[in-house]
């Protein structure tokens, strides 16, 4: 009989289905708990993706239960609305409160820390050492390498120096790594990490979330304006192209709206764009749309995670653009791409990445990064396809997700790695 483990997952920025944003840690925590383990997910009560405080009283923390999963919401300060010094202070606040509050709870057998959120990963490392627990560092993004290679910061900027020192410290004290990026093992070797155990565990999709039911219908009123706009598109034989995600420097949403401008100049009036999300570039995007009179582009507020399948069901194609960043040689792990594929949408993917699922599963068209003209042409190609051809393209993506990215299958693989 397998031992029941007490597993702590520390993930400051993770979202739950009632909030917008990334929820990998929640999905795996939930899956582990369904396998019979005692699981606690430690997160901030401040939603990074929704920029919203969810604990609106004086308590320093609150515990929510989701079936057999405990979700620990830690209040952090200061609140922040941009990626500035307040976010840095908020990360430090989470690490400090985590170290303090965790002392009053039964000792874990396993501590999994998600990275980025380096200060939380540091605190989780101390907690694991305190209890002689197995420590696993889960790498989801290569801070600060992604910013160095994008030339967003010079290598010797104080913030980059701090993150580099933390990264070096954590790598030195970790022997077990998990990553959603398939080639991070190469990065670890470049950093001089030797003798470690490594597993690639991508983000998973729970396909039950994409089987529309009464729970989705209950959300229809909340996202009614978006659904109505896409319904109007269909009535006019307009192809609805959707983007759901962050609107910041990492995702080239500016290329999407520039492609919309190119299509307008060409006289193309049968393609519309629905951009759903938030981020510090959103005002610039909305200004560009307004200044160029792009009536085919609608920019919407972020939606809760559990409403995404309902919205995607009404779209005709998904779109996703990335920077041309050499760091993608270690692979990418894109939730929104998985969502598009799970919904059976053909995808226009403007990127150059080593693990290109759009090409691998033949579920869309890949064009070079940062090329609005190529994006516009690809969208016109998809629009010109026969309905059966477009549908087959989407079905291939759905089948690929079902076979290779089902979260229940992946969680069993993850647990086998932990238990080994």
- What does pLDDT average to over the chain? 93
Q: Are 349 and 356 in contact (CB under 8 A)?
A: yes
Mean pLDDT of 65-85: 90
Distances in whole angstroms, Cα of residue 106 to Cα of each of 4, 110, 132, 300? 14, 12, 13, 43
Residues 319-369: tens digit of each pLDDT? 999 988 889 999 999 999 999 999 999 999 999 999 999 999 999 999 999
The three-point CA angle 149-78-29 to 5° equals: 70
- Residue 95 makes CB contacts below 8 A (sequence gap 6+) with 119, 120, 122, 123
Give the contacts of 416 (CB within 8 A, at least 6 positions apart).
none
Q: How far apart are CA 356 and CA 341, in angstroms?
A: 13
Taking Cα atoms as reference points, which of 171, 203, 169 lies closest to residue 187? 171
> How many Å is the maximal CA-CA distance in the chain?
67
Segment 13-42 shows an average pLDDT of: 93
Q: Is pLDDT at 27 greater than 70 in this prediction?
A: yes
Any residues with CB less than 8 A from the CB of 196 and at least 6 apart, and which? 174, 175, 176, 177, 188
Task: Give residue-wise pLDDT tens across range 203-260.
Answer: 999 999 898 877 677 788 889 999 999 999 999 999 999 999 999 877 899 999 999 9
End-to-end Cα separation, the chain, in angstroms: 15
What is the structure's pLDDT at 213?
Answer: 79
Tokens (6 digits) for 329: 């040689």
At 373, the pLDDT band (50, 70, 90 cuts) reads very high
pLDDT at 1 over 70: no
Condensed to tens digits (0 to 9), the pLDDT of residues 43-62 reads 999 998 878 899 988 899 99
pLDDT at 262: 98
Give the pLDDT of residue 233.
Answer: 96
Q: According to the model, what pLDDT value does residue 26 have?
A: 95
Instruction: Copy the structure tokens of residue 223.
Output: 């996202």
């Amino acid at each position: 009989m397998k031992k029941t483990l007490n597993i702590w997952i520390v993930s400051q920025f993770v979202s739950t289905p009632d909030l917008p944003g990334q929820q990998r840690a929640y999905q795996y925590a939930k899956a582990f708990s369904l396998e019979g383990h005692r699981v606690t997910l430690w997160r901030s009560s401040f939603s990074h993706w929704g920029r919203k405080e969810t604990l609106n009283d004086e308590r320093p923390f609150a515990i929510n239960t989701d079936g057999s999963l405990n979700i620990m919401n830690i209040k952090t300060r200061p609140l922040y609305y941009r990626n500035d010094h307040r976010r840095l202070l908020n990360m430090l606040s989470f690490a400090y409160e985590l170290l303090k509050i965790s002392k009053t709870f039964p000792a874990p057998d396993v501590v999994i820390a998600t990275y980025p959120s380096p200060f939380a990963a540091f605190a989780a490392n101390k907690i694991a050492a305190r209890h002689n627990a197995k420590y696993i560092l889960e790498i989801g993004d290569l801070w600060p390498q992604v910013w160095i290679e994008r030339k967003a910061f010079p290598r010797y900027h104080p913030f980059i120096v701090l993150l580099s020192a933390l990264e070096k410290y954590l790598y030195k004290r970790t022997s077990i790594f998990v990553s959603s990026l398939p080639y991070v093992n190469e990065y670890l070797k470049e950093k001089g990490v030797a003798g470690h155990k490594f597993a690639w565990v991508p983000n998973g999709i729970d396909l039950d979330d994409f089987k529309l039911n009464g729970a989705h219908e209950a959300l229809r009123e909340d996202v009614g304006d978006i659904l109505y706009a896409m319904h109007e598109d269909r009535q006019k034989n307009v192809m609805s192209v959707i983007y759901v995600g962050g609107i910041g420097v990492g995702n080239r949403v500016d290329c999407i709206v520039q492609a919309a401008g190119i299509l307008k100049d060409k006289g193309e009036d049968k393609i519309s764009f629905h951009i759903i999300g938030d981020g510090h570039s959103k005002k610039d995007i909305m200004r560009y749309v307004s200044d160029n009179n792009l009536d085919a582009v609608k920019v919407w507020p972020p939606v809760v995670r559990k409403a995404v399948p309902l919205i995607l069901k009404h779209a005709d194609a998904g779109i996703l653009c990335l920077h041309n960043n050499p760091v993608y040689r270690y692979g990418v792990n894109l939730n929104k791409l998985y969502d598009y594929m799970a919904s059976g949408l053909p995808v226009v993917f403007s990127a150059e990445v080593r693990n290109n699922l759009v090409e691998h599963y033949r579920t869309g068209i890949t064009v070079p990064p940062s090329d609005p003209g190529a994006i516009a042409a690809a969208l016109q190609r998809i629009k010109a396809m026969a309905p059966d051809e477009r549908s087959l393209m989407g079905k291939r993506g759905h089948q690929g997700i079902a076979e290779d990215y089902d979260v229940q299958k992946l969680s069993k693989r993850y647990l086998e790695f932990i238990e080994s």
